[in-house]
Amino acid sequence: MTSSRVPRKVLALLVSSASIAAVLTVSGHAGASAPDRPVQQADDLAAAPDLDRSAPAGYDPAQARSVAGRRGAAVPLPPNGNFNGIEWERAGGVFGDAEIEGALEFNAACQWMRAAHDGTNGDALAVLDRVPNWPTFRHGDGSIGQAVAEAHAGGGPVYEAMLAECEASHDREVRYAAEQGLTPSS
């Protein structure tokens, strides 16, 4: 696991694990969230119980995509965001509940980081304020909180590094979603 407690398999789905590990130590559902709900969804996710990382893996890639589609409805996304680009099929193997939740939360955090940077959503910083308390991140090393603080300040090394990884991940996800015949996130 990386220092942020995001399983490597999850990171491999989203970004190169070596790059994201460095970023975090410096210091796909088909539809988007309703536009009037992202901050409330972010609060709800922050209040959710810890992930059970001891539960056995049991979902093949197709099942993982289906489970993620259902569970992703509770994870806030910017308008036109989705989880279609998560590379469940390419990663292969068997996924557990915590890996699926982690992939969704990490992917959503990246989409909000990009929205904050682009200035495309007035809720972006408010949602990002809650991300460090989401189950995937709450017991991490604090680097996600540092990235959020730097996002509020208009930049900083942790934020810039995470944003670069999120941009690269998004580019890969857009290509992958298109290859799968799915609508990519914007």
Query: Is 2 within the bounds of a domain?
Result: no
Domain hosting 175: range is: 8-179
Separation between Cα atoms, residue 59 and residue 69, nearest integer Å: 13
Our count of domains for the chain comes to 1
Query: Is 52 within the bounds of a domain?
Result: yes
Query: Is 186 within the bounds of a domain?
Result: no
Distance between the two ends of the chain, CA-based, in angstroms? Answer: 29
**All residues at 6 or more sequence positions from 162 whose CB lies less than 8 Å from its CB, including other chains:** 23, 24, 110, 113, 143, 144, 147
User: How does DSSP classify residue 39?
Assistant: H
Please state the rounded mean pLDDT for residues 47-63: 92
Query: Is 184 within the bounds of a domain?
Result: no
What's the pLDDT score for residue 56? 85
Query: Is 19 within the bounds of a domain?
Result: yes
Query: Is 113 within the bounds of a domain?
Result: yes
Query: Is 91 within the bounds of a domain?
Result: yes
pLDDT digits (tens, 9 = 90+) for 68-78: 999 999 999 99
**All residues at 6 or more sequence positions from 82 whose CB lies less than 8 Å from its CB, including other chains:** 28, 29, 30, 31, 32, 72, 177, 183, 184, 185
Higher local confidence (pLDDT), 4 or 141 = 141
User: How does DSSP classify residue 96?
Assistant: -
Query: Is 126 within the bounds of a domain?
Result: yes
pLDDT digits (tens, 9 = 90+) for 114-173: 999 999 888 999 999 999 999 999 999 999 999 999 999 999 999 999 999 999 999 999
Please state the rounded mean pLDDT for residues 89-93: 93
Instruction: Tell whether the model's pLDDT for residue 1 goes beyond 50.
Output: no
Higher local confidence (pLDDT), 14 or 185 = 185
